[in-house]
Amino acid sequence: MIETAVKRKAERERNRGAYAACAVLLDTDTRQQSLSRTAEGEALARKHGLRLVWQEPCHEALLLRHLPGCAMQRPQTSAQALADLERAWPDYRKGFPANALARRIDEAAVLRAAASTPGLQGFLTDIEFGRD
């Protein structure tokens, strides 16, 4: 994923100019699969100015923390995160397109999730999200 992000960043910057900041969302539940590969990816991200946002343990857990009353929930497994998210958001389906997510996740929701996700908070600071 990081290699793909590096390529896309370079392509888009050639066409549109430099980004204020770039980030890659990664699941911590895959981090331990190959520690050497993780270290290589982290080094590649640093070299190319990509912030890594670690979703604990997965994307569904991060989505869950966007919802009212769920910001501090920390499911221990990906399966539990999906179950908790589906309970809190009955219409949610894995692989929802961005426009469907945007109907439920507004600026306040992003800030709520970021409050308990340091990497996301750092990225939002980088891009001055939520500042007028």
Q: What is the pLDDT of residues 66-119, one digit of tens each?
A: 999 999 999 999 999 999 999 999 999 988 899 999 999 999 999 999 999 999
* Residue 33 predicted with pLDDT over 90: no
Q: pLDDT class for 34, splitting at 50, 70, 90? A: confident
- Give the pTM: 0.88
Spatial distance between the Cα atoms of 22 and 50, rounded to a whole number of angstroms = 5
Spatial distance between the Cα atoms of 16 and 34, rounded to a whole number of angstroms = 35
What count of other Cβ atoms lies within 10 Å of the Cβ of residue 81?
26
Confidence at residue 132, expressed as pLDDT on a 0 to 100 scale: 64
> In whole angstroms, how far apart are CA 48 and each of 8, 22, 74?
11, 9, 31
Confidence at residue 27, expressed as pLDDT on a 0 to 100 scale: 94
Long-range contacts of 61-64 (CB under 8 A, 24+ apart): 61/85, 62/25, 62/113, 62/117, 62/120, 63/89, 63/92, 63/101, 63/105, 63/113, 64/88, 64/89
Confidence at residue 11, expressed as pLDDT on a 0 to 100 scale: 96
Say what percent of the chain tops pLDDT 70: 99
Spatial distance between the Cα atoms of 93 and 103, rounded to a whole number of angstroms = 14
